[in-house]
Amino acid sequence: MQSILQSALPMVWIGGSEPLIHPGIGHFVRAIAQSGHYIFLETNGTLLRRRIHEFQPLPQVFLGVRLNVDHTSEFALAVEGLRAARLSGFFTVVHSLVGRTSKLPELARTREFLAELRIDGWLITAESADPGTIRNAAEARSHLLTKPWRWFSRRIERELLAHPSRTDEWSVSSAQEPDASREETCEESVKAL
């Protein structure tokens, strides 16, 4: 925590498998925001509606949801979470991961849907460092995003695809001790940008 608070970089990205499963995430976000950093908390959105009361709608806090418009039950929960965040006064951002086979018309429909939700911002990044995927994401950004969100998406993409052994990134495991009964360990990532 001290390393994050003392970082001279202006923004902290909190992502990973699902940060909202951690009980103290609201306090963690508030502490970082009070140190003057901007925070982007990225979640899949399914727990956002239930956990929104743990956060304060500070001007430095942006709640981001990875959202693919596929109309599954997870999608419906994510949309409910986004609506709850908007009604609670938070800045909201949707993060779309673009693959090699993602199509521009599908993303254009996503843009129309996000306009109806009145989301504050939209990030489009490549889901992998594959050159074809990166080209596809760049094309989607050039057609669908405003200039500031294109720039920010490119910057976030570079950081998210960068090698994880940097000194300004911290990984936090939700498993304190090895547990054979856990099928997977949830790894969260905190990056200063």
Kindly report the pTM of this predicted structure: 0.83
Domains and CATH numbers, the chain: 2-166 (3.20.20.70)
**Pairwise CA distance, residues 17 & 43, whole Å:** 8
**Pairwise CA distance, residues 10 & 30, whole Å:** 15
Q: Which two tokens stand for residue 4?
A: 């994050």
Q: What is the pLDDT along the chain (193 residues), one digit of tens a residue?
A: 778 877 788 899 998 889 999 999 999 999 999 999 999 999 999 999 999 999 999 999 999 999 876 667 888 999 999 999 999 999 999 999 999 898 889 889 889 989 999 999 999 999 999 999 999 999 999 999 999 999 999 999 998 898 554 445 554 433 333 343 334 445 667 777 7
- The answer to whether the CB of 12 falls within 8 A of the CB of 35 is no
